[in-house]
Structure 1
Amino acid sequence: MSASYEQAGELKIGQVGIANLRIRTLDVEALVREMRERVERAPKLFGRAAVIIDFGGLTQAPDLATARSLIDGLRAAGVLPCALAYGTREIEELSEQLGLPLLAKFREQYQRVEAAAPAPAPAPPPRAPEPPRAAGMPGMIQKTPVRSGQQLYAEQRDLTVLTTVGAGAEVISDGSIHIYGSLRGRALAGASGNVEARIFCREFHAELVAIAGHYKVLDDIPRDLRGRPVQVWLDGDQLMLAALD
C-alpha cells in the first residue's frame, strides 16, 4: 500500500488482538480499499479479524445509511466489524440501529472527555486516571516456549520470554517485551498506550510487532533484519526497528 497519501482510517492493534479502526475521513470507498489491501498483505493476521469501528475522530456521527455501507464494505474486504467504540449519544443511537454493541473499553475514556467540556448543568468532576502500576510490579517471566495458538498477556508490567514465541502465538505486555529466543509470532508491547515500551528479541522473524497500537507486519520489515537480534521502539508515530548486533 502506498504511503504517499494520508490514510482515511488509522488501524491500531488492541491488547486482546482486536483491531480498532479510528475513522479519520468518512470516505467509504477509501476505507474499504485500505482494509482490503491490509487483508491481502497479511491474510493470516487480518483475514476475518474482529474490528471495532471508532467514529470519534469525526466532527459528527455518520448517518445510518453511510454506516451500514461502511460495515458492508469492510465485511466484503475480509474483516468482521464487531462493535462501535463509545463516543457520543449519536454513536449510542447508531449502535442500536446497526445492532452492534458499544465497546465498554472506550466508554470511560470518552466520558472523561465529555465531563471536562462545559455543560449547562453541574457535573461531577472526571475521575483522575489511576497511576501506572508497571513500574511497581515485577515483570512476568515465561520459562517455556509460547506455542502456536497461545496468547500470553503481562498486565501493567514487562514480559520476559526465556525461550521462543512460535508462529501463530501472541505475546502482549503493557510494558516492554524481552524475548531471549526467536520471535516468529506476534509481539504487542505498550498495549495500554505506553509509548515508551520497547520490544527486544534475539532472533527476529515476527509476523507482527506493535507498540501502543502502532504496528508493522512481516512484509513491512527489511529483509536484512530477519533472523537477527532486533530492537523495536516508537519515534513519534513511527515504529522503528534496528539490529542490536
Structure 2
Amino acid sequence: MSAAMDFELAGELKIGQVGIANLRIRTLDVAKLTEEMRGRVQRAPKLFARAAVVIDFGGLTRTPDEATARALIAGLRDAGVLPVALAYGTTEIERLSEALGLPLLAKFRASYERDEQAASQPAPAPTIREPEPAPPPKAPRSAPAPATPAAANVAPGMIQSAPVRSGQQIYAENRDLTVLTTVGAGAEVISDGSVHIYGPLRGRALAGAKGNEQARIFCREFHAELVAIAGHYKVMEEIPKELRGKAVQIWLEDQQLKIAALD
C-alpha cells in the first residue's frame, strides 16, 4: 500500500488588497527624486520608512535605460523606501522589469490612464437637427397608472462595527465605508467612495481609491497619520494643530486636499 499523502499546506496563499505606494515619475532626475523621497521619509517616518513602492515610468516619453533605473532604485532605497515592482506599461517597461528582476503590477496605471484619456478627448460637437413636423392629433386616452420607480442599482455601503486595530486594513470596493468605532494607529481604511468614521481616527483613511475626486472623509475625532482622496494626501505633520482631535471633513478642491472643522 502506498503511504497516505499529506495534504496539509505549510503556507496558505491568499490574494487580497495590498497597500503599496505608487511613485509616478514625471521628471527622470535621480538626485531630485531621491531627495524628495528622503524628505517624505523624514517628515513621516512611521508612514514611509521601509514602505513598499511601485515605480511608474508611464509619465515619461521614453523608458529609461537599465543603468538609470538601477540608479533610481538604489537612490530610493538609500532614501528609506523599498522599490518592489514596476507599474505595467509598454513592452520596453516589461523588458526593463525582466532586466531589473522586478515584477510588473498593472492596477496602478488604470486611474492615471483613465484621467489622461478623458482630458485628451475633445468635447463632442453639438448635433443640429432639423425641426420635425408636428404629429397628427391622436384620440384622447386615459392616463396610465404611475409607474413604480425601479430600485437604483447602487451597492450598499460597507459598515465596520468592530475597531480597526494596528496592522489591519479594511477595503470597501465600489462603495462607501462607515466605521462605527476607532481606527487605531497603524491601521488603514480604504474606500472607493467616501469614508465616515464615528470614532477616533489614529491611522490612515483613503477615500476615492479608484480616482473618485468627489469622495470625502468625515471623522469625529481627528488624529490621522495620513488622509488621502483620489491619491492626493496629507500626513500628520502637514495638518494644522488646531484641527487635531476635532470633528472634521476632508475633500478635494482644485487638486488640493482641504480639511475643515465640522460645526
1:219 corresponds, among 230, 237, 251, to 237
Residues 172 and 188 of structure 1 are in contact (CA less than 8 Å); yes or no, is this contact kept in structure 2? Answer: yes
Alignment length, in residue pairs?
213
The aligned residue for residue 81 of structure 1 is: 83
1:170 is aligned to 2:188:
yes
Aligned-residue RMSD, C-alpha: 2.2
How far 1:111 moved relative to its partner? 9.2
Amino acid at match of 1:177: V
C-alpha distance in 2, partners of 1:47/1:80? 9
Output the CA distance in 1 between the equivalents of 2:244 and 2:61.
42
Question: For the residues of structure 1 that align with 2:242 and 2:44, how far apart are their CA atoms?
Answer: 20
Partner Cα separation in structure 2 for residue 183 and residue 109 of structure 1 = 27
Alpha-carbon distance between aligned partners in 2 of 1:151 and 1:74, rounded to the nearest angstrom: 25
Contact 2:224 2:235 in 1 (8 A): yes
Q: Deviations over 1:12-68 (max 9, x none)?
A: xxx732110000000000000000110111111111111000011111001111100
2:178 maps to which residue? 160
1:232 is aligned to 250
Partner of 1:124: none
Residue in 1 that maps onto 2:11: none
Contact 1:214/1:237, CA 8 A, preserved across alignment: yes
SS in 2 for 1:180: strand
Q: Which moved more, 1:102-111 or 1:16-25?
A: 102-111
Higher relative contact order (CA 8 A, sep 6+): 1
For 1:97 and 1:34, locate their aligned partners in 2 and report how far apart those are by CA, in whole Å: 26
Alpha-carbon distance in structure 2 between the residues aligned to 1:234 and 1:175: 13
State the match for 2:259 in structure 1.
Answer: 241
TM-score w.r.t. the length of structure 2 is 0.77
Q: Output the CA distance in 2 between the equivalents of 1:200 and 1:210.
A: 12
Specify every segment of 5 or more residues in structure 2 that has no aligned partner in the other structure, as ranges: 1-16, 118-151
Q: Percent identity?
A: 77
Q: Aligned AA for 1:244? A: L
Q: Given that residues 22 and 108 in structure 2 are in contact (C-alpha distance below 8 angstroms), is that contact kept between their aligned partners in structure 1?
A: no
Residue 139 (str. 1) matches residue 139 (str. 2): no
Please list the CA deviations of residues 176-212 of structure 1 after superposition, one character each: whole Å capped at 9, or x if unmatched: 0001111111001111111110000011000000011
Write the distance in 2 (CA, Å) between the matches of 1:237 and 1:94. 32
Distance 2:172 2:32 in 1: 36
Amino acid in the other structure paired with 2:26: R
Identify the structure with the greater strand proportion: 1
Structure 1: gaps spanning 5 or more residues: 1-14, 115-133
Provide the rounded CA distance (Å) in 1 between the counterparts of 2:40 and 2:213: 23
Q: In structure 1, what residue type is equivalent to 2:248?
A: V
Alpha-carbon contact 1:86-1:110 (below 8 Å) kept = no
- Give the letter for the 1:67 counterpart: A
Change (3 A) 1:55 1:206: same
Matched residue, 2:33: 31
Q: Alignment partner for residue 198 of structure 1, among 216, 229, 232?
A: 216
Give the structure with higher Rg (CA): 2
